[in-house]
A and B are shown apart, each in its own frame.
Chain A
Amino acid sequence: MPDFADFYRDAKDDCLRTVMISTGDPELAQDLVAEAFARACASWPKVARHPNPTAWVVRTALNVRTDRWRIRRREMPLLEPADAGRHDPDPADPTIIDAVRRLPERQRQVVACRLLLDLDTETTAETLGISPGTVKSHLFRALAALREDLKLKEQIP
């Protein structure tokens, strides 16, 4: 069984980038991925046997986000954004990231899993709980939208 510390060292950045692209929020992504890795660590003998532990972490992080959203929707009033005026330390290229953020959430998730984690269509479908055909169509539309968006900003010829 691989060591959790090795897994964390090797997979943490890829997982963070994937969840950051999926959520569009670097700080939230750090929090979600940390919680997902903690859950992976707590159940490491089981997670280590998963066909793709990295996909497991990403799936868990996205589930944590959904769970928190449900809880907060039930328990909290809508607040002013806590991060108003916050300095965003994320070093990602803002032009590309902004273009990705304009995609619908599911398309962002597919882009993240397929392009950043290099998951195949079937594993992406399993990770996101959608069909392989839906993954293909989301990816096709996302890439077309990105290409068009970036072309308008003259990022690509």
Chain B
Amino acid sequence: MNDTDLATLVRDAVHDTRMTVPEADITRRARTLRTRRRLTAGTVVSAGVAAIALAAATVAAPAGSPAPGRPHDAAQLTAWTVTNEPGGVVDVTIRQLKDPAGLQARLRADGVPAITTLSGTDPACRNYYPDGRYFSPQYLALFGPGEHSYDNGSVTEVVTSAPPASHNGVVSAPLSRLQGFTLAIRPARMPHGTAFLIAARPTYVYAWGLVKTGPSCTG
């Protein structure tokens, strides 16, 4: 067999292999990349001014409190990150739930009807699942099989494993176990009339899951 025949053999072997990602997913991801590039460019241009402002504000502010006038992008980079992934998945990585309103706005802009709060569970929202759990087998079905996320050298399996604890109907985990974690959300698979709640009690738990939306709970 000569090289041409061998090449034909290799071509034929993969002939039926097809790309299955829809073009809409590609262009959606491209929009995110363009937006990020514009933000990065803007950040570079204003980096000097922002750094001076941030330094001055940090010195003036009490330790541990948000610095007044702190650039929004700086808070995003340190506290949480939202990225659009192929397949309609929105990854949100949370290191600290600072600026929950900013996170909520960003997630909504990326198509996730989200509610974020620093006060624990929003009392005006009811769990989507009637048994009081935010996580449930049905909820886990929102994610694709085998999806998991990595952060800070640890692995937070948010897809195939049960949540680590339950506290008053809120799925939660100690911060020591969640020094940065990533949730992979497929907004297209969220049931109609639901929102994705991300809540934190600043000292000891994070919680996330589906809630029913309504007049007093707008996702």
Contacts and interface: CB of A to CB of B under 8 A. Distances in A.
B75 to A, nearest CB: 22
Contacts of A100: 10, 13
A156 B146 contact: no
Given A41-B26, A42-B37, A156-B1, A146 B10 contact: yes
Interface residues of A, number: 50
A119 interface: no
A51 interface: no
A129 interface: no
Given A116-B10, A146-B6, A156-B6, A76 B23 contact: no
Contacts of B30: 38-42, 44
Contacts of B12: 93, 96
Q: Per DSSP, are chain A's interface residues mostly helix, strand or loop, or mixed?
A: helix
Given A30-B20, A42-B33, A79 B155 contact: yes
A150 B29 CA distance: 41
A111 interface: yes
B26 A37 contact: yes
Nearest to A17: B14
Nearest to B84: A38
Given A38-B86, A41-B30, A115-B7, A96 B13 contact: yes
Contacts of A155: 9
B120 to A, nearest CB: 30
Interface residues of B, number: 37
Contacts of B11: 115-116
B25 A34 contact: yes
B185 to A, nearest CB: 17
A20 B17 contact: yes
Interface string B147-165: 0101111110000000000
A33 to B, nearest CB: 6
Contacts of B148: 82
B33 A30 contact: no
A7 B7 CA distance: 25
Closest 9 CB pairs of A and B: A96-B13, A41-B30, A93-B13, A38-B29, A12-B19, A34-B86, A42-B33, A42-B30, A91-B16
Interface of A: 4-5, 8-9, 12-13, 15-17, 20-21, 26, 30-31, 33-35, 37-42, 44, 72, 75-77, 79, 82-83, 86, 90-93, 95-97, 100, 111, 115-116, 143, 146-147, 150, 155-157
